[in-house]
Amino acid sequence: MQLIPAIDIIEGKCVRLTEGDYAQKIIYNEDPLEVAKTFEGIGLNRLHLVDLDGAKAGEVVNWKVLEKIANKTGLTIDFGGGIKTEATLKTVLNTGATFATIGSLAVKSPLVFEEWLSRFGAHTFLLGADVYEEKIAIGGWIEKTNIDIIAFVQSYMDKGVSQIFCTDIQKDGKLQGPSIELYKKIIKQFPTLQLIASGGVSQLLDLEALRTIGCSGAIVGKAIYENKISLKQLSDFNLL
Q: Any long-range contacts for 222-229 (C-beta under 8 Å, 24+ apart)?
A: 222/16, 222/173, 222/175, 223/175, 224/5, 225/14, 225/16, 225/26, 225/28, 226/175, 228/175, 228/202, 228/203, 229/201, 229/202, 229/203, 229/204
Alpha-carbon distances, residue 106 vs 117, 130, 137, 198 (angstroms): 11, 12, 11, 18
Contact 89, 83 (CB under 8 A): yes
CB 195: neighbour CB atoms within 10 A?
25
Active-site hit among 53, 130, 168, 206: 130
Active-site hit among 8, 53, 78, 206: 8
DSSP3 helix / strand / coil % (the chain, rounded to 5): 40, 30, 30
Is 31 a residue of the active site? Answer: no
Is 236 a residue of the active site? Answer: no
Active site residues: 8, 130
